[in-house]
Structure 1
Amino acid sequence: MRIGFFGCGNMGAALAHGFKKFDPTVEQYFFTPTKAKAQELAGAVNGHFVEFVSDMPKDLDWYVLAFKPQSLLDFAFDFNNNSKILSVLAGTGIEKLSKKFNVENISRLMPNTPSGIGAGANLYYSPFDSGSMTEMLKGLGKLFIMKSEVELDGITAFSGSGPALIFEFARLFEKHLIAIAGNNPEAREIIAQTFLGSAKLMENAVSEGISFETLREQVTSKKGVTFEALQILEKNGLDNILGGAFVAAHKRTLELKKGI
């Protein structure tokens, strides 16, 4: 398969690395206006650097739109009418893209950064049979087929923004571990392993039909150490804080869809 990338930021890079890992024979082309990231990514996955947007081949199997949604207005490329486009632009609907590029075969993907190591939680919606691309995307982690763009936009805040929130939690874990226990050289590794092991337990729980609440209860003894920690989170409104964060992220998704 031959794939062209417009935009080589974190999401574009995650996809490119994931595609290469899934299919070492994939041929990838990269363009960014500033050139540097395209050159770097092309080198990293043994792809092709495209210096000018007009030099992007027009007979590729797929094209990936991986730049910031705000850049769509200024982006221009003369796609063939039968081109296939995979958009990772948050809050940007297929209808809008189809009118701009005069292309019908457009699908949307909301990946997250773990896709680069084959562990992504990726939301996908396509109004047409995307065939081999669907198989490629399965190689990036777990692919969740959405019934509509509305569903995709609603879940984006959780899967797309989720890793950043988890990394922020991990940063705070490390910070407070050091504050209480001293600057242990293995602090970061301890926290990373705690998150990794917990994620594996959650994965097992999903397959066995066990709720996350049950998992929490299994490690919480009344008046014990964990109980005290959870009490502080409840008293300080962690539920409301996270709820507000997700509402704000979803609101921003809808704003981008309106071009705000």
Structure 2
Amino acid sequence: MSKIFVLGAGAMAESFIKGVLQKHVVSPSDITVINRNRPERLNELRRDYGIRPAESIADAEDSEVIIVSVKPYDVRDALKELSPFLHGQTLISFAAGIPIAFMDRVVEGRAQVIRTMPNVPVAVLEGAIAMAVSERVGADQLERAKQLLRQIGTVVELDEELMDAATAFSGSGPGFVSYFLEAMEQAAVELGFSATMARQLLIQTVVGTAKVLEEWRLSPTDLRERVTSPNGTTHAGLAVLNESGMREAILEALTQAAKRSREMGEEYTSE
């Protein structure tokens, strides 16, 4: 059983702690947490999950896995503080846009670095987690990292060159999906539904569609074609979406989000 040191105490860190404890892959006594600001958060996490607040960042020396769950602009300073206490531990970063090479350089090669991009649904243990791995990470360490992260969602390992796109696709994805659902909800209200009724139908439509795609092992194209009859209601609505250039807009939205992820990495890692 790994001892885990968590750097940061925000929502993403709490989701990780909740997942690994709820699935019983570690015990509360094996998790130590430190937070630079808002010390009251450590008391909340101790009260809710039984974890141990760190006395100092030096406590990381006794860990096997370190979770870096701080804002991208804080990664450099956090890793500099952490570096003297590293001796080959697995370091898993949740920070958007921060490359493996940069983290390796800051910690002077003293850790096995894994870069990830979890999304908001990790809060309900249903996240999508993109992962890129340093070539220095051993097979056992990689499998242990995957085991931990699987407790909060689905893990997909990919080449690091795709991480900015993954940040746009799955990281920002819940925001894009919510934007579309927001428009559907507003349209339903204009068609005569109450806001409460519209949201009930909307949420269940989304949840049910996701389950069908997963359990029937269908692609979105497969399911769309199954529910679209020639000259039917779905066909009529899709014709409007196609004419509006929705596909092109989605591509451009993802392209710009990926570009911003790259820019953030450059901003926060420049000397």
Aligned amino acid, residue 19 of structure 1: V
* C-alpha deviation, 1:60, in angstroms: 1.2
User: What does 1:49-68 align with in structure 2 at a 5 Å threshold?
Assistant: 49-50=53-54, 53-54=56-57, 56-68=59-71
Describe the SS at the equivalent of 1:258. helix
In structure 1, what is the equivalent of residue 157 of structure 2? 145
Shift of residue 56, structure 1, vs aligned partner: 4.0
What is the CA distance between 1:195 and its match in structure 2? 0.2
Deviation at 1:55, TM superposition (A): 5.9
Q: How does 1:232-251 map to 2 (within 5 A)?
A: 232-251=240-259
Residue 9 of structure 2 corresponds to 8
Q: 1:2 to 1:191 in 2, by over 3 A?
A: same
Bigger helix share? 2
Asked if the contact 2:164/2:261 (under 8 Å) is kept, the reply is: yes
1:53: how far off? Answer: 4.8
Instruction: Look up the match of 2:235.
Output: 227
Alignment: residue pair count: 255
Question: 1:190 maps to what in 2?
Answer: 201
CA shift digits 1:143-191 (9 cap, x unpaired)? 2122x21133332311111122222222332222222223253332221
Report the secondary structure of 1:64's partner residue. Answer: strand
The separation in 2 between residues aligned to 1:145 and 1:81, in whole angstroms, is 25
Shift of the 119–53 alpha-carbon distance from structure 1 to 2, 3 Å rule, reads: same
Where do 1:178-217 residues align within 5 Å?
A: 178-205=189-216, 207=217, 210-217=218-225
> Is 1:29 matched up with 2:32?
yes
Name 2:52's counterpart in structure 1: 48
Q: Within 1, Cα distance between the matches of 2:48 and 2:68? A: 19
Q: Distance in 2 between matches of 1:133 and 1:44?
A: 24
Structure 1 runs not aligned, ≥5 long: none
1:96 aligns with 2:102: yes
Q: Distance in 2 between matches of 1:9 and 1:259?
A: 22
Task: Work out whether 1:73 is the aligned partner of 2:76.
Answer: yes
Q: Give distance in 1, aligned partners of 2:168 and 2:202.
A: 24
| Cα gap change, 1:170 to 1:42, in 2 (>3 Å) | farther
Across the aligned residues of Structure 1 and Structure 2, the Cα RMSD in angstroms comes to 2.3
Q: Does residue 106 in structure 1 map to residue 116 in structure 2? A: no
How far 1:216 moved relative to its partner?
Answer: 0.8
Q: Give TM-score, length-normalised by structure 2.
A: 0.84
Following superposition, the deviation at residue 194 of structure 1 comes to 0.4
Task: State the TM-score, normalizing by the size of structure 1.
Answer: 0.87
Q: How far did 1:99 drift?
A: 1.5
Change beyond 3 A, Cα 1:224–1:124: same
- Please, which runs of 5 or more residues in structure 2 have no aligned partner? none
Q: Show CA shifts across 1:45-65 (max 9, x none).
A: 222234x75464421121111
Give the partner amino acid of 2:144. S
> Which residue identity lines up with residue 94 of structure 1 in the other structure?
I
